[in-house]
């Protein structure tokens, strides 16, 4: 009788495909439960077993699990999509399987509720208010002090996050966010917006597994007013006291939120020796950070997450210590993609580059980034020295950038 591992939906980029592959490598049969398998091209390409069901309803996923028990033993339930982690957790608990606490995960996903818990626990966070109208948003911005960051209480991947310099910009962006009743997955959104003080300084993320800090990541953020992540360095180049401060802050935040099962991804701003927790995500990091951790430390976080869902013992101690870096390609203005194959070959030719890709086909239009969906490609590099890894990734991006044809270029051609 086969051991089955249910995946409730998937993320559309990054680790979704790897989740299924790691499950198979650990002897389990991966089964994707989804409302739309065509959302994930790898499903058809890999011949992944899948079942169509309404994944917005926990009872529907439980019904699928009950039917599958006739074919094998459902040994685990998880998700690589932040949107469906609460559903996967609820299903796992109902079946008596390993997973995070559904209540804590759901509370953590709501940025307003998360902030209240962290603030009450004494974990430093940006000053904030949760509002339900554009007028409330403008008033909150005045009280907090401009500029402020305005964002949805439920979201992912920098979607809808914007720095607003004045009350008018605050009100306009809040009105725009409040007008959305569902997100890009068709899930209902609360009529709430988070307004928070803008914390300057460098941005990092702390990758944890259970209660253990695996590594600290340096994040490179694109031009304001948006907060698109344009690169990561693993591990971050920090003094020991800074690394310890960030790790301790993340551990405090995870404990306060009642987490501690599996992977967590905590984003922190460090300014003048003081850290502020921006948010805690009860999942693996995106932005190909798990790949970087594997290259730099020999730790397979995807396999660890799958192993935890199956109830296996997992190890996340470093097996070696190198440095990895990723840089994402974005456009500076309206443009089209030229010949991606040549650009990718050129990036791979840079010493130290281990991976390069362009996400758009020849002739595809592009523009400046507003959120992660506007990233056009990436280059990953590995070296024994952090500066060498970063420089190689940058050089690879320069090769990819050469394929972009801006409007002025086309006019002159």
The set of catalytic residues is: 283
Least confident of 26-35, 47-56, 63-72: 63-72
Q: Please, what is the Cα angle at 77 between 59 and 51, to 5 degrees? A: 65
Here the tokens at position 257 are 């939120």
**pLDDT digits 0-9 by tens, 277-298:** 999 999 999 999 999 999 999 9
Question: Can you give the pLDDT at residue 332?
Answer: 94
Q: How many CA atoms lie within 13 A of 98 on its CB side?
A: 16
**DSSP-assigned letters across all residues of 297-345:** H---HHHHHHHHHTT-----S-S---EEEEEEE--SSSEEE--HHHHHH
pTM: 0.94
In terms of Cα–Cα distance, which of 347, 389, 369 is closest to 218?
389
- pLDDT the model gives residue 413: 43
Edge-to-edge strand list for the sheet holding 212-221: 274-281, 263-271, 202-209, 212-221, 229-234, 323-329, 377-383, 353-358
Q: Indicate whether 313 pLDDT > 50.
A: yes
Give per-residue pLDDT as tens, 84-132. Answer: 999 999 999 999 999 999 999 999 999 999 999 999 999 999 999 999 9
Mean pLDDT of 55-71: 91
The mean pLDDT value of the chain amounts to 94
Q: Is residue 238 predicted with pLDDT exceeding 80? A: yes
Query: Tens of pLDDT along 257-272?
Result: 999 999 999 999 999 8
φ/ψ of residue 137, rounded to 5: -65, -45
Q: What is the pLDDT of residue 210?
A: 96
Picking from 286, 329, 369, 301, the residue whose alpha carbon sits closest to that of residue 81 is: 286
Residue 12 has pLDDT above 50, yes or no: yes
Each residue of 178-212: pLDDT tens digit? Answer: 999 887 777 788 999 999 999 999 999 999 999 99
CA distance readout (Å), 41 to 10, 206, 278: 11, 30, 33
CA distances from 47 to 41, 53, 228, 351 (A): 10, 18, 33, 35
SS in 3 state form for 74-116?
A: EEEEECCCHHHHHHHHHHHHHCCCCCCCHHHHHHHHCHHHHHH
pLDDT at 234 over 50: yes
pLDDT for residue 21 is more than 80: yes
CA distance 245 to 270: 9
Q: Is there a contact between 76 and 6 (Cβ–Cβ < 8 Å)?
A: yes
Q: What does the pLDDT average to over 323-332?
A: 97
Using one digit for the tens of pLDDT, what is the confidence trace for 366-384?
999 999 999 999 999 999 9
């Amino acid at each position: 009788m086969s051991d089955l591992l249910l995946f409730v939906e998937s993320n559309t980029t990054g680790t979704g495909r790897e989740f299924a592959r790691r499950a198979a490598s650990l002897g389990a049969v991966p089964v994707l439960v989804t409302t739309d398998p065509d959302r994930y091209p790898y499903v058809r390409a890999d011949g992944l077993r899948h079942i169509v069901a309404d994944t917005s309803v926990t009872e529907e996923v439980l019904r699928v699990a009950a039917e599958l028990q006739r074919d094998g033993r459902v040994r685990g339930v998880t998700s690589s999509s932040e949107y469906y982690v609460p559903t996967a957790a609820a299903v796992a608990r109902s079946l008596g399987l390993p997973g995070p606490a559904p209540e804590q995960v759901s509370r953590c996903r709501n940025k307003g509720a998360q902030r209240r818990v962290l603030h009450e626990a004494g974990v430093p966070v940006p000053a904030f208010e949760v509002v339900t109208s554009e007028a409330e948003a403008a008033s909150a911005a005045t009280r907090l002090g401009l500029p402020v960051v305005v964002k949805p209480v439920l979201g992912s991947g920098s979607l809808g996050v914007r720095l607003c310099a004045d009350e008018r910009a605050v009100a306009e962006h809040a009105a725009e966010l409040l007008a959305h009743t569902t997100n890009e997955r068709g899930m209902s959104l609360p009529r709430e917006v988070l307004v928070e003080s803008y914390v300057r300084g460098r941005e990092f993320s702390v990758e944890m597994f259970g209660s253990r800090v695996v590594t600290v990541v340096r994040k490179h953020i694109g031009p304001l007013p948006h907060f698109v992540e344009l690169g990561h360095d693993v591990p971050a180049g920090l003094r020991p006291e800074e690394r310890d401060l960030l790790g301790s802050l993340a551990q405090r935040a995870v404990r306060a939120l009642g987490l501690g099962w599996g992977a967590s991804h905590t984003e922190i701003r460090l300014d003048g020796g003081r850290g502020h927790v921006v948010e805690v995500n009860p999942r693996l990091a995106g932005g190909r950070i798990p790949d970087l951790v594997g290259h730099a430390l020999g730790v397979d976080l995807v396999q660890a997450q799958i192993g935890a869902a199956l109830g296996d013992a997992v190890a996340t101690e470093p097996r070696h210590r190198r440095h990895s870096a990723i840089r994402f390609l974005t456009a500076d203005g309206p443009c089209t993609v030229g010949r991606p194959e040549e650009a990718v070959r050129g990036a791979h030719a840079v010493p130290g580059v281990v991976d390069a890709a362009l996400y758009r086909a020849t002739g595809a239009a592009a523009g400046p980034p507003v959120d992660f969906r506007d990233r056009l490609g990436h280059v990953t590099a590995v070296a024994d020295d952090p500066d060498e890894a970063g420089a190689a990734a940058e050089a690879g991006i320069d090769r990819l950038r050469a394929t972009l044809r801006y409007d002025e270029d086309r006019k002159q051609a």
